[in-house]
Structure 1
């Protein structure tokens, strides 16, 4: 019998035959499968929630029910929550565990100071102001410390409230130690975050890609090698490297690592230009082939040393000596040859093409030396190119001092954020103490978690937080009223509430996070001391007070965030580039004076941080200058400041020196003009940069005879001159690109 007309063959009778039980089972299976896929898609959030819940519950149950120590149980639990949920420590499971263990000494100090300074409200407020700033500002030393900073703030906030109880300092410190150790174990062994390729491995892959490109000596472009080189270069881009793996600390190995990354990325770019700019079947000049072979050998040596990772003795490891011996005569010969062609090359097309392989060789030398320095060989400064590594002579404390003072200016977004948080937390501590709020640390916790870098962001966060806290307070009040003082029920519910709160918060937003945390707090405190449903409205009031304080600080302290600071910092970078052009040219021409590369590095650091924060803030889609191009210009200026002043040769001709100084002054003036424009105007700059006047250079450059006794000396001087011209030309091209985008 056929089914009724208009009905599908599987409808009706099958559904009735299956019954509601099978339909329910099918629905349950569907929900489980989709829930499993959803959890797999959010593995990081779920894994972190499981780790924090497991470690905090283990710490709480052991201290509260096993040892009967309520103070220790609270500190152990909040240590896990602060460093595992409130903090955003980046990296793999091993890296996170290491960061937590490394933070133990600082955590012991913070808990001790919080306990001792709770004796008076004014002492706690002053301590909060100082510690709040120091902990927030410490993020300048690397992503791991920056990620741990919010959690470290809580380690001072929790003990700095009455009652003043130095007698319980032992329990507090023991609870902190237990919580930190359990969290580290959970991060390492319980659903750990997978390991990522180390930065040394990324450097080695990029060096190998450069060697493969250098093995190509003419003919059609090596499409596969170019694609691999592009992938390897992009993998080293700071935005593509996981935060925990970035060489961002002020230590010497990290500085050498960052230097090597810059060198190998430039090397890949120059080799790419060399191969794609040539004709389809163009055969390279023998000099070019010799340099490419030297680049290949040097890059492979660096890659092998990076993969082995062994500490190098002085003079051991990869060597750039052979490449440098081959490079010196080629550089001089090409300079002489290029000067003869400049009369028909006023656009510098020929000069740029001829200089690509020379610049690539320079980068390969720097890569090798940076690799040796990274692996412990400080004798690289004795190399003829060792002047590039002036920081290798700087002592460890001075490197850290330079990093810590780099952002110690009101123009730094890191300094502004640290001031904003410190003032907000100090104000919250003062108000909580003066009003004698029952759970005052919740006020500071709300201020800490809801303050944002702009007033608009803070207001949005406050609205969501109050909504979530209101819902959570209603649910918590109902739970406390129903369960009352039955600790067994709270003990059973606690892991479930924690797990749901720590999953829903990151996935569903701030309202869910605040509501879930309100339930967690109610469930936890109900097992520590007798509480009633009135704990829920107290939590709501405290969050409201903390939110208002955070909002007030957001309105008073730099309410626009990085919106205006990014223009100021980029203007400062333009001025620093102009100064670097002047310093470098003076040393090239006159062989006198000194450079201030720290000023350029500081300007670059301030600009990079302000741009990173600006890009993370919600903003209107208004046209902006090409800020990354300006950062590239800063790095080009730094590259010349490192390489040119101590190069062999000198500008003997006074007229040539005058031309070089004039060209440098004009380029520097263009950057200063852009700096003034960024500070005062938002339209298109009126003054466009002018290309270098090569014809004027030819008019004052004496011919270099091939058979003169001083031909070699004059050729070396010509090489220094043309390297300086290429450097100024690159800075002019950067500026032209920025003007076009504006």
Structure 2
């Protein structure tokens, strides 16, 4: 195979040579610190900690962001790493103390990942900083040397991130949101000018799909607890709804051949929404200041004063009112997108221009990152949280491994804990999948290492030459060739490193195999006993809670505005269920797709269920803020239809929720066929009749908004339980 073909093959396996570059950075940083300390200073302790400091910071850690951001994160984590090395050094003398310390460190470090991807990326590296000094030699007197090596390794790794084959900067989620805003603006301008000719539903669907987190590389996902990332994530959800409603309006007008069309007042709404989307696109691209809400607010007030005028009863009138309500929904959603982008760009929340529902949707604005992180930590402190489960599983497995290794007196016991950390996954199936290549690779590497150690037992120069290429292959081959190859070369790496520190023979390879076997078995055993189904089962239960709390909130909100009850804490319960579901979905996306799950999961679109929860929260708050309790009781027919639609929505979703909890998908759409969706046209007809010959009353038209809201929720829930090949049709604008 020639060089060009080899390069082509490598780039096909490793696009952009990302894994190769990363491995090269780790190798240069680790070997530079190791050789300088071992042969320059003649200090073996500093050498080992410099080597593993760089390995932990670069090889075991995967910090997202630009090279500068990664380097900054590593340096910021240095005090914590030093604290863990110190703690491990002092607790290592007593086996039970070391195991209890491992239990606490394992839980706290893993659970800290609820704060965002940077903490998740650092978790394995931070675990190693405690694991490494937790084993012989028990030498607290060498703590200063250990910390010196640690600092050298981490600083060298940070420097390598900046200047040594720096990784390509990841894309920005803001750019995706900006492109979606541009497409939305073009479609809305087209609707306002020429509804039947200038808008493309396919482009709206494509941009909506591009905003889905499952379509976004991990480095781009806004998943931290900061107000900026929360606003980006929530703004994208609102943009997806805006695109869906715009697409629905486009298809509705095309089906009607533009017969009823859109009123001039509604066109003003669409134009204002288009301007807002255009401002969002320019602001995110850095071409303009943060957008304002003034244009949307003026258009909403003008439309609401217009739509209370009496309408003639009839199909055309109902269609016009319905299209106007969808246009109003689009404009309200544009308000939410604008506010999200203002928070993303660090602009203040304008109390004078933002409506109460807009300000309430972004409760986290103007709050410190520390407070938001604290709130997220408390929200996930429940056995139903996947983050909590992972922290408990990891902590118990590592503590058990430390206790077993100490009781059995295994040499190089930190390899056992490192293997436990490597093979632990969020489900028993994924742990078994990681276990096989780990054992095969370790055994193969140990055989080769034993041969080398046998023939070159007193030749440290051989190991000095072998260390860099073995380390390079250890961190690159896992991504290119498979995890078994990575384990094999990592076995050769540790053999080459330790053989330069102490005289070693073939027994070093045997010890490596024994420790890896012990660590792997402990990890697999704990993974089998503690929440063995991983994120899948929790995701299904979390989504069932979103549906249950969401439909309960819809019923409660509807009963409140129609005079049949009073709102309590339904919406806050939906918010909590939504946060847990989002964390579960993020965990589920990282797991291996087994054939069974791939088949069953095809029946349920979890992303759409979370969009349902988001929509329940935002529109439910709008209705509660604008409609006093019992506001619609003066129109008993409309109120009765709305209560009936809300209760049918809840009752129809119960079998779906039960199926999610039990693991038995039920593919039939909620409530039957699409034509059995809540009769929003019936409510609109009632409103048209009721408004004739009466004094204008803007509250009456909130019945239309509520009907449109429940109709979209009904379609979305039906689409979520229908296979994608069926649901991706024009009957569901949620896809």
Asked if TM exceeds 0.5, the reply is yes
Please tell me whether residue 373 in structure 1 is matched to residue 359 in structure 2.
no
Question: Which of 272, 285, 301 does residue 294 from structure 1 map onto?
Answer: 272
Tell me, yes or no, if structure 1 residue 470 matches structure 2 residue 448: no
Counterpart-to-counterpart distance in 2, 1:603 and 1:451 = 27
Name the SS of the counterpart of 1:278 in structure 2.
helix
Structure 1 pair 382–127 and aligned structure 2 pair: CA distance change class (3 A): farther
Distance 1:701 1:226 in 2: 30
Superposition pairs for residues 419-438 of structure 1, below 5 Å? Answer: 419-438=392-411
The alignment partner of 1:527 has SS state of coil
Among 634, 646, 660, the residue aligned to 1:653: 634
SS of the equivalent of 2:169 reads coil
CA 1:659/1:382 → structure 2, altered by over 3 Å: closer, same or farther?
Answer: farther
Does the alignment pair 1:33 with 2:4? yes
- After superposition, the Cα gap between the structure-2 partners of 1:231 and 1:657, relative to the gap in structure 1 and judged at 3 Å, is closer
Q: Of the candidates 621, 639, 652, which is equivalent to residue 642 of structure 1?
A: 621
Q: Is the 8 A contact 2:266 2:324 kept in 1?
A: no
Instruction: Tell me how far 1:147 sits from its aligned partner.
Output: 2.0
CA distance in 2, matches of 1:121, 1:381: 58
Q: Within 5 Å, which residues of 2 pair with 1:674-689?
A: 674-680=656-662, 682=664, 684=666, 688=671
Counterpart check, 1:721 vs 2:703 = yes
Q: Secondary structure at the match of 2:22?
A: helix
Cα deviation, residue 342, structure 1: 7.1
Aligned to 1:442: 415
Alignment RMSD? 3.1
2:181 to 207, 212, 218: 207
CA gap of 1:726–1:450, structure 2 versus 1, over 3 A, is same
Q: Determine the C-alpha separation between the residues in 2 that align with 1:241 and 1:475.
A: 40
User: Given that residues 335 and 722 in structure 1 are in contact (C-alpha distance below 8 angstroms), is that contact kept between their aligned partners in structure 2?
Assistant: no
- 1:353 maps to which of 323, 326, 333: 323
What are the Cα deviations for residues 168-219 of structure 1, in whole angstroms up to 9, with x where unaligned? 2222222222211211221222222212332233333322332222322344
* 1:285 corresponds to 2:263: yes
**Pair 1:132 & 2:106 matched:** yes
Between structure 1 and structure 2, the one with the greater Rg is 1
Deviates more, 1:376-385 or 1:531-540: 376-385
Q: Distance in 1 between matches of 2:201 and 2:537?
A: 40
Partners in 2 of 1:417 and 1:219 — Cα distance? 53
Between 409-418 and 598-607, report the one with greater CA deviation: 598-607
Residue 510 to residue 694, structure 1, CA distance change in 2 (3 Å) = closer
Spell out the pairing of 1:236-635 with structure 2 (5 A cutoff): 236-279=211-254, 284-308=262-286, 317-331=290-304, 333-334=306-307, 340-341=313-314, 352-390=322-360, 391-392=363-364, 395-396=367-368, 397-589=370-562, 593-614=567-588, 616-621=591-596, 622-624=599-601, 625-628=603-606, 629-635=608-614
Deviation at 1:430, TM superposition (A): 0.4
2:677 is aligned with 1:691? yes
Contact preservation (8 Å) 1:343, 1:695 = no
8 Å CA contact 1:584–1:595 kept in 2: the answer is no
- Contact 2:571–2:617 under 8 Å retained in 1: yes
> 2:322·2:684 contact (CA, 8 Å) conserved in 1?
no
**Alignment correspondent of 2:121:** 147
Q: Which runs of 5+ in 2 are unaligned?
A: 727-735
Spell out, residue by residue over 1:445-483, the C-alpha distance to the aligned partner (whole angstroms, 9 max, x if none).
111111223333323332322222112111111111222
Moved more, 504-513 or 467-476: 504-513
Asked if the contact 1:95/1:244 (under 8 Å) is kept, the reply is no
Instruction: Check the 8 A contact 1:218/1:284 in 2, yes or no.
Output: no
Secondary structure class of the residue paired with 1:429 = helix
SS at match of 1:379: coil
Task: Check 1:244–1:344 CA distance in 2 against 1; reply closer, same or farther (3 A cut).
Answer: same
Judging changes above 3 Å, is the alpha-carbon distance between structure 1 residues 268 and 46 closer, same or farther for their aligned structure 2 residues? same
- C-alpha separation between the residues in 2 aligned to 1:587 and 1:330? 25
Q: TM-score, normalized by length of structure 1?
A: 0.87
Q: C-alpha separation between the residues in 2 aligned to 1:502 and 1:530?
A: 26
When structure 1 is superposed on structure 2, of 331-340 and 270-279 the one drifting more is: 331-340
Q: How big is the shift at 1:407?
A: 2.4
- Asked if the contact 1:470–1:515 (Cα under 8 Å) also holds between the matched residues in 2, the reply is yes
- In the alignment, is the contact (CA less than 8 A) between 2:551 and 2:649 conserved in 1? yes
Against the structure 1 CA distance between its residues 442 and 681, is the aligned structure 2 distance closer, same or farther, given a 3 Å change threshold? closer
Structure 1 pair 467–93 and aligned structure 2 pair: CA distance change class (3 A): same
| Preserved contact between residue 97 and residue 187 of structure 1 (Cα < 8 Å) | yes
CA spacing shift, 1:582–1:131, aligned 2, 3 Å: farther
Distance across 2 between alignment mates of 1:382 and 1:644: 20
CA-CA distance at 1:695 after TM superposition: 8.8
- The 3-state SS of whatever aligns with 1:528 is coil
Evaluate the alpha carbon distance shift between residue 598 and residue 53 of structure 1 in structure 2; reply closer, same or farther with a 3 A threshold: farther
- CA 1:181–1:630: 2 relative to 1, 3 Å: same
Residue 320 to residue 583, structure 1, CA distance change in 2 (3 Å): same
Residue 11 of structure 1 corresponds to none
Runs of 5+ in structure 1 lacking a partner?
1-29
Q: Distance in 1 between matches of 2:347 and 2:4?
A: 55
* Structure 1 contact 221–275 (Cα < 8 Å) conserved: yes
Distance in 1 (CA, whole Å) between partners of 2:667 and 2:207 is 37
Moved more, 172-181 or 424-433: 172-181
> How far has the Cα of 1:428 moved from its partner?
0.2
Match of 1:22 in 2: none
**Whole-Å Cα distance in 2 between the matches of residues 696 and 496 of structure 1?**
73
TM-fit CA distance, 1:597: 3.9
Of 690-699 and 489-498, deviating more is 690-699
> In 2, distance between residues paired with 1:292 and 1:695?
21
- Aligned to 2:611, what secondary structure does the other structure show? helix
Q: Distance in 2 between matches of 1:468 and 1:386?
A: 59
Task: Report the more deviating stretch, 268-277 or 106-115.
Answer: 268-277
CA contact (8 A) 1:595 1:641 kept: no
